[in-house]
Structure 1
Amino acid sequence: MPGAIIPQYQRLGSSVPVSVIRRSLRPREKCLILLVFATLGIVVFWAFFYLPEYGKVSYQVQKAGADLLLPPSESKHGEAEDPHKRDDIEKLKIRIENDSEKVLDKPEVKRDSTERSFNHPEVIQASDPSKDLGENLIPRSRSPMLNGGEDRDDKSRERRNVVKKMMQHAWENYELYAWGKNELRPVTKRGHSASIFGSASLGASIIDGMDTLYIMGMDAEFQKGRDWIAHNLNLDNVSADLSVFETNIRFVGGLLTLFSFTGDSMYKDKAVHIADKLLPAFNTQTGIPLAIVNSRTGTSKNYGWASGGSSILSEFGTLHMEFTYLSDITGDPKYREKVDRIRDVIKKMDKPKGLYPNYIHPRSGKWGQAHMSLGALGDSFYEYLLKAWLQSNKQDVEARILYDDAMQAITEHMVRTSQGGLIYVSDMKFDRLEHKMDHLACFAGGLYGLGAKTQHNDQFSRHMEIAEGITNTCHESYSRSNTKLGPESFRFTDAIEAKALKSTEKYYILRPETVESYMIMWRLTKEQKYREWGWEVVQALERHCKVEGGYTGIKNVYSDDPQKDDVQQSFFLAETLKYLYLLFSDDNLISLDEWVFNTEAHPLPIKDVNPYYRAA
């Protein structure tokens, strides 16, 4: 450029001025350089031998990243905190937590040497389960068994492999014809959106079946399901009327199990997301939630047919396990507070004959129609009283007291023995027994047995007798049908026992309750008949329910060639096949000493016993 000042040096090579290059260094400069290198050598030597804990310190800093990086609150006592600052801090915390997910501890998963490990770039890998358990957890010499667990008996191993092949057939066809839909129509080979989830494609079968895949070691299928949940499960832009009960036991319960199994915080975040969508249903005068909530608007309602718009006992009473565990792993008490309030209302109410009616008005807090049942409308309420106590490592004493009192009343007023010697649980309506038992009530065999075995008292012998009797009666309802599958409900009269009378009672929709009792009673008693009965179910399913496109329910269990209902229920993957698989497995696989199943067969860890509890 004309008139520009010419620089006083030229550049040689990259950027070294020619004017500063000399042939040699002065003696003083040589001494200085030697001193610098000597000092550096001493520092490295000292760090190598005297700072062996550096790695642990670095790891702890990473884990505490959010607390270290977040600015302290500037609000003072009595002064309102700036909501904009609070929002900024929350956003920063979310970003820090997302960035630090890679340091989450995950216990080592116990596997057979022949099984592949679950590898995925987004899945947190395993670490020693005895570390970082928290002061309230007991370090264990081994990890709970999540898969593997082959039984020593050759026949049982062969039968278990058949069940796994059933799962593969059911899952592969769901993946082929209905991926992302709630359920599969296996006859017409298309998706099925169940009414309990509205018309939205929420992948109910994926979420319900994932822990079964994990337990069976079906790693490729598990990874694909994990990817779908991570990228597609989001209710923010979905307007669907959701059943609070079904969404909790299938979605929230399934995601919580996956979090406990893997330590992958994605599952916990999704469980929080789904549970938060259900919270508007609890905004009633009593805190008893309504049955249905819209995922977008939060508007809630009850079923019109439910005793004048009442809430249903089995629905609002089947939230405690999931919501309590969710509070424990997130550190947010709001979920536990919701279910604790429900219990406070229930325990203070007068119970006719000590029994719980199936309906309650959520505004007035009064009982609705005087209908009591251990089957439909009542069943899992009683189940969760016992299992909340077990889940808490027997610390929730109140839950056990409520369970014992309720089962004593049911035993006295509703358990009966037929002329042929079959023990069953009858429904009661307006102080009159209706000698009918639902398939749903067949879980009660396992319930009575589990309650008796976990706390010996003066009712132990009687309850074990009932447990064995109910399980036998449910087996008879299967054995007395042409298909060897049980009807939806069955009756006891002077003319028939353990058989359905009405056409609306004769269908079988792949239900799990009978095989659930088989599995639990096998583990409690080791009587071989329960495994033989389970194998009869496997054979009947293969003969009458298996089709080219999966497994379907049937409309008449007393027909030699029953019509198909064309629905592969998500609970077939979550419950029926899982319980059958565990029936033919070693007892250490999902041990009853370490896990407790929610009513959708999603195992949740027992607090202070199971290192997979992962409390916050």
Structure 2
Amino acid sequence: MAVGSVLPLYNKRSGWWMLRRVFRSREKVLIFLLCLTFLFICIGPIFFLPDLRGGISTKVDHVYKVYKQMQKAGPELILPPPPRESGEELVGIRKHEGVYHNGGNSNQHNDIHLSDDKQRLLEKINNDEELRHMRVIEKPVVLTVSATPANKQNAAAQIDESIRLEKKEAGGGGGGHEENEIKVGYHGAENKGSGMVVQGGEDADPVARERREKVKEMVLHAWRGYKTYAWGKNELRPISKRGHTAGIFGRQDMGATIVDALDTLYIMGLTEEFNEGRTWVQYHLDFNQLRSEMSVFETNIRFVGGLLTVYALTGDPLFRDRALHIARKLLPAFDTPTGIPYALINVGNGIAKNYAWASGGSSILSEFGTLHLEFKYLSDISGDPVFREKVMRIRDVIRKTERPGGLYPNYMNPKTGKWGQRHTSVGALGDSFYEYLIKAYVQSNGKDIVAKEMYEEAIDGITKRLVLKSHSGLTYLAESKFDRLEHKMDHLACFSGGMYAMGAKSIQNENSKTHMEIAEGLANTCHESYARTPTGLGPESFRFTEGIEARALKSSEKYYILRPEVIESWFYMWRYTKDQKYRDWAWAAVMALEKYCRVEAGFSGIQNVYMENPQKDDVQQSFIFAETFKYLYLIFSDDSLISLDEWVFNTEAHPLPIEGKNSFYRKSQGK
């Protein structure tokens, strides 16, 4: 027998070579693909899923994070905001206060007043450190009476020390004077016997007194709801009974409602509530803790303006020093080639920017044009000229820039000083710029001639181009977009009745009679926007067409968020004309607020003023204290209470003293 037949020999016909002959080419390809897929499934996640690289401990930690994040998100998921219609434009900045306020991106809800809950939820999920220590449902925070006096004093001392250091770094600003030191427990006793009526002021009419008491009761109801469920938060969700923070306030709790409400509480003689607010300001209002973006405009009119008013009313230096503390945090926003400030600032790092949607990143007229009253007064009472210099530079840039068609566009590029798109409005985006021109003249006791001239030129262009009458004779303010008129008027623009009346009374000339007639017409039209709804409350915007007058057309225009502008106009018309209809209209608004906006824990806006049973938006805006309630209270008070001969209201209705006519102006030494 041959050897080869007994022992198997290795040759090219044996081993792996034989396997190659067994499988066909197609089968080889399939096997290769299966092996490749197996390797990808087993090894791929290591490279494509970073969270798996850290081993089991990292995975467990990640699961723990997700679990805690879901816990924190619980309240947001259980109580989501009312759904919005697609295409609804609610981008935030406020005119003043506003929604759209102002223009917008239909796919993005940055509404200043109706906060974007989705964004808030994302922010909470990203804040891992905070989530580790939170419960599923947060317990409402009430005034911290349990804190020891020593702890509270230490907290106040830390804030005071940081403010003193800021004064020193800023070059003094009066910081070396004894009068600038915060006096704990100071209550402004020096105001007694001054002759200025800032409390009391009951009207001789018993009906007016009764109605005024009702407004005070509404304030107490709203305040107690906020104190119980949202103390220290920016605003209250009175239905959900939890805190609310709109985008303009950043992401942190800065007590916007407390600061906005302080002067109203003081004027109404609500001493206990006022002292609660003062205590919070002393121990907790510290902008050094902020690390997120805030609206320069909103921070100025609400925080700086509110604190300046309470300082004027009480003489308590706590409020002046807090106002200085906050205003200095805003100054980096003015560091532009033109001095026109950016709209947003992160007070933690000083980085400022504009809204991306605002005409190529422009600044907004109603924002950079609404700083003058507060900054000028702040320089006068502190001795620090920087604030006055900032607003005077803004005014100088505006004056020197040519106006297309004699109208001020709503946007200006802070780098070039050139106007943005040609859109002019006395409503959102433009409104309070014009308001502050006439009010700067009034605040100066007639000495600010430049403000007077700018107002006269601006109001002349508006009167000729934008003041129109409907088919039935209703006076309204249109908007100009690229030289074409849009026959729409914002609720925000309803302040203009009061502005026209103030101009007619403050500047006596050949136009005064005409301007007073326009004021009466605008106040009446805005009343019609209320009267033509089942709720008796007016929409966010209303239009004038061949078939419709003073009514909203779009669903995104039909909401009411406790806005004050219509009532504001009636307040001025009552003070100037004494026509009883303005008090009657104001009382009708009180009853409408009671019926459709009052809930167990406060007051809420509504989503459709044309529905008999409208859905509520679950937000109690801070300006309901600063403006809506204050104007209603003053309408039913004697004219001596916060007299228009002695005070001028900022755009958030915080009254500031008129220089030379009001002993509460309180100029600093050497001014």
TM-score normalised by the chain length of structure 2 = 0.73
Higher deviation after alignment, 604-613 or 229-238? 229-238
User: Cα distance, 1:100 vs. partner?
Assistant: 6.5
Q: Which residue of 1 aligns with 2:452?
A: 400
CA contact under 8 A between 2:345 and 2:352: conserved in structure 1?
Answer: yes
For 2:171 and 2:341, how far apart are their aligned partners in 1?
29
Q: Which residue of 2 aligns with 1:35?
A: none
Q: Which residue of 2 aligns with 1:466?
A: 518
The partner residue of 1:581 within 614, 633, 637 is: 633
User: Cα distance, 1:97 vs. partner?
Assistant: 2.5
Does residue 485 in structure 1 map to residue 485 in structure 2?
no
For 1:90 and 1:351, how far apart are their aligned partners in 2?
38
CA spacing shift, 1:283–1:485, aligned 2, 3 Å: same
User: Cα distance, 1:461 vs. partner?
Assistant: 1.2
For 2:581 and 2:656, how far apart are their aligned partners in 1?
28
User: Cα distance, 1:143 vs. partner?
Assistant: 2.1
Q: Match for 1:443: what amino acid?
A: F
For 1:465 and 1:281, how far apart are their aligned partners in 2?
40
Tell me the alpha carbon deviations over residues 413-456 of structure 1, each in whole angstroms, 9 at most, x when there is no partner. Answer: 00000001000000110100000000000000000001001121
Q: Which residue of 1 aligns with 2:547?
A: 495
Q: Which residue of 2 aligns with 1:211?
A: 263
Pairwise CA RMSD? 1.9
Tell me the alpha carbon deviations over residues 511-538 of structure 1, each in whole angstroms, 9 at most, x when there is no partner. Answer: 0000001111000000000000000000
Q: Which residue of 2 aligns with 1:171?
A: 223
Q: Which residue of 2 aligns with 1:244?
A: 296
| SS of the residue 2:585 aligns to | helix
Q: Which residue of 2 aligns with 1:43?
A: none
Q: Match for 1:122: what amino acid?
A: G
Aligned runs of 1:355-394 on 2, under 5 Å?
Answer: 355-394=407-446
| SS of the residue 2:515 aligns to | helix
Does residue 228 in structure 1 map to residue 280 in structure 2?
yes
Tell me the alpha carbon deviations over residues 467-523 of structure 1, each in whole angstroms, 9 at most, x when there is no partner. Answer: 000000000000001100000000000010000000000000000000001111000
Does residue 287 in structure 1 map to residue 339 in structure 2?
yes
How many aligned residue pairs are there? Answer: 503
Q: Which residue of 2 aligns with 1:596?
A: 648
The partner residue of 2:501 within 449, 452, 462 is: 449
CA contact under 8 A between 2:443 and 2:648: conserved in structure 1?
Answer: yes
Q: State the identity %.
A: 61
Tell me the alpha carbon deviations over residues 82-125 of structure 1, each in whole angstroms, 9 at most, x when there is no partner. Answer: xx9x969989x9587379666xxxxxxxxxxxxxxxxxx61144
Q: Which residue of 1 aligns with 2:556?
A: 504
For 2:216 and 2:491, how far apart are their aligned partners in 1?
24
CA contact under 8 A between 2:190 and 2:315: conserved in structure 1?
Answer: no
Q: Which residue of 2 aligns with 1:127?
A: 190
CA spacing shift, 1:402–1:176, aligned 2, 3 Å: same
Does residue 97 in structure 1 map to residue 178 in structure 2?
yes
CA spacing shift, 1:87–1:574, aligned 2, 3 Å: closer
User: Cα distance, 1:237 vs. partner?
Assistant: 2.1
CA contact under 8 A between 2:293 and 2:345: conserved in structure 1?
Answer: yes
Q: Which residue of 2 aligns with 1:44?
A: none
CA spacing shift, 1:371–1:89, aligned 2, 3 Å: closer
Tell me the alpha carbon deviations over residues 548-603 of structure 1, each in whole angstroms, 9 at most, x when there is no partner. Answer: 01000000000000000000000001000000000000000000000000000000
Q: Which residue of 2 aligns with 1:42?
A: none
Tell me the alpha carbon deviations over residues 48-86 of structure 1, each in whole angstroms, 9 at most, x when there is no partner. Answer: xxxxxxxxxxxxxxxxxxxxxxxxxxxxxxxxxxxx9x9
The partner residue of 1:412 within 447, 464, 467 is: 464
Does residue 548 in structure 1 map to residue 590 in structure 2?
no
CA contact under 8 A between 2:311 and 2:320: conserved in structure 1?
Answer: yes
For 1:308 and 1:389, how far apart are their aligned partners in 2?
33
Q: Match for 1:553: what amino acid?
A: G
CA contact under 8 A between 2:379 and 2:387: conserved in structure 1?
Answer: yes
Tell me the alpha carbon deviations over residues 297-329 of structure 1, each in whole angstroms, 9 at most, x when there is no partner. Answer: 000000000000000000000000000000000
Q: Which residue of 2 aligns with 1:263?
A: 315
Aligned runs of 1:59-70 on 2, under 5 Å?
Answer: none
The partner residue of 1:274 within 326, 329, 340 is: 326
CA contact under 8 A between 2:180 and 2:317: conserved in structure 1?
Answer: no
For 1:362 and 1:279, how far apart are their aligned partners in 2?
15
The partner residue of 1:434 within 486, 494, 498 is: 486
| SS of the residue 1:172 aligns to | helix
Q: Which residue of 1 aligns with 2:17?
A: none
| SS of the residue 2:529 aligns to | helix
Tell me the alpha carbon deviations over residues 364-385 of structure 1, each in whole angstroms, 9 at most, x when there is no partner. Answer: 1100000000000000000000
CA spacing shift, 1:363–1:158, aligned 2, 3 Å: same
Q: Match for 1:231: what amino acid?
A: Y
The partner residue of 2:659 within 598, 607, 614 is: 607
User: Cα distance, 1:269 vs. partner?
Assistant: 0.5
Segments of 5+ residues of structure 2 without an aligned counterpart are: 1-164
CA spacing shift, 1:332–1:162, aligned 2, 3 Å: same
For 1:393 and 1:445, how far apart are their aligned partners in 2?
22
For 1:199 and 1:158, how far apart are their aligned partners in 2?
41
CA spacing shift, 1:240–1:175, aligned 2, 3 Å: same
| SS of the residue 2:345 aligns to | strand
TM-score normalised by the chain length of structure 1 = 0.80
Tell me the alpha carbon deviations over residues 269-308 of structure 1, each in whole angstroms, 9 at most, x when there is no partner. Answer: 1000100110000000000000000010000000000000
Q: Match for 1:420: what amino acid?
A: S
Q: Which residue of 1 aligns with 2:619?
A: 567
| SS of the residue 1:236 aligns to | helix
For 1:566 and 1:269, how far apart are their aligned partners in 2?
34
Q: Which residue of 1 aligns with 2:587?
A: 535
Q: Which residue of 2 aligns with 1:138?
A: none
User: Cα distance, 1:238 vs. partner?
Assistant: 1.5
Q: Which residue of 1 aligns with 2:400?
A: 348
CA contact under 8 A between 2:338 and 2:397: conserved in structure 1?
Answer: yes
Q: Match for 1:513: what amino acid?
A: E
| SS of the residue 2:398 aligns to | helix
Q: Which residue of 2 aligns with 1:184?
A: 236
Q: Match for 1:391: what amino acid?
A: Q
Aligned runs of 1:12-161 on 2, under 5 Å?
Answer: 97=178, 122-127=185-190, 142-161=194-213
Q: Match for 2:271: what amino acid?
A: D
